[in-house]
Amino acid sequence: MEINRHIILLLVSAAVMLAAPFFITSKFYIDVLTLIFFTAYIGQSWNILGGYAGQFSFGGVMFFGTGAYTSSILLTTFGIPPIIGIVFAIIAGALLGFIVGFMSFRSGLKGSYFALITLAFAELLRVLANSVEFTGGGVGLFLTYAPGLKDLQFKTPTGFYYFALLLMLISIVIALWLERSRFGAQLVAIRENEEAAEALGINTLKCKIYAIMIMGAMGGAAGTFYAQKYLYLDPPIAYSIHLSVEMLLVTIVGGMGTVFGPLIGAFVLHIVNEIARHFIDTPGLSLIVYGVILIVIISYLPNGLIGLFRKRMKKSKPTALDRLISGDKDA
């Protein structure tokens, strides 16, 4: 029943978001919504591993950067258009996820140890990208502006709006699939108690590797989107720690292990960020605001904003005892 409500909510939301550009004339607001959808997408990629499987990662940006470099190098060096390059970016992200997952989970790393090793992998890739010639080194890669579907570039912001919307909707469909699939149930069992999951016969190593591969594939596609939108890539951008923090932050704020948590978190954080930038001209303020929000959410709303909403909904529904006391004959 809850899945059906999720599907109905997804269809209604998709219809509204598809129609939004016809009513929003400001390019600024279109760009803001595009960024929200993109952030929700990368947040959902982190949510697969961190929210559903309970394996926190601080280096999710390594998949983003690898995907961005894969499609960009294929374009600039071999002339392969990004519409094909994005497929290779997805494969590269999934392959990197397999390598990192196999090395980490096979060694029994979990918790803070796993989080730190993913951060180390991201930093290693940043150093490598800064050192080799085919990535452009510290200078970076400049991509040519060539609007067209094969290059995944568009003449107006609306094109990138729909591109980001498509990615986000795909990520929500993946989350919905996890909600009702055996694999998703196995990930939740691992999150709740990995030892008990193993005792039940769940191959926890395989499940965690699959989860990080899905995260990696999604991150690879995100990298291609970014490269084609901004037409420039260098190691500090491709492997930015700020992006790693943002993808886990939107999920924690919205609600980990939920279908719409990353989207809600992305909306809230970007709206707060835009308000802060317009009313207070202080460099670095957005990071302070993010930090305060994260502290408040972790301290008082461990299940995120969706958890708060669900708690209020339960309180608003009268129990059978409440109906009996009030004289409801149907109780």
Q: What is the pLDDT of residues 132-141, one digit of tens each?
A: 998 998 899 9
pLDDT for res 25: 84
Contact yes or no for 57/46 (Cβ under 8 A): yes
**Where is 233: in which H helix or E strand?**
strand 232-233
Say how far apart CA 203 and CA 198 lie, in whole Å: 6
Q: Is the pTM of this model over 0.95?
A: no
pLDDT for res 13: 82
pLDDT for res 314: 64
- Residue 271 tokens read as 């709206």
Say if residue 218 is exposed, middle or buried (CB neighbours under 10 Å; 0-12, 13-18, 19+): buried
Closest CA to 6 of 174, 157, 118: 174
Closest CA to 75 of 224, 198, 195: 224
Closest CA to 74 of 87, 93, 61: 87
Is the four-CA dihedral 257, 263, 267, 269 of positive or negative sign? positive
Distance separating the N- and C-terminal Cα atoms of the chain? 22
How would you classify residue 231: left for phi > 0, otherwise alpha for psi between -120 and 50, otherwise beta? Answer: left
Say how far apart CA 124 and CA 321 lie, in whole Å: 59
Angle 261-279/285-300 helices, nearest 10 degrees? 140
pLDDT for res 326: 46
- The SS3 assignment for 112 reads helix
pLDDT for res 105: 95
Residue 208 is which amino acid? K
Q: What is the CA radius of gyration of the chain?
A: 21
- Which portions of the chain are predicted below pLDDT 70? 1-3, 6, 279-287, 290, 311-331
Burial 296-322 (b: 16+ CB within 10 A, else e): ebeeebebbbbbeeeeeeeeeeeeeee
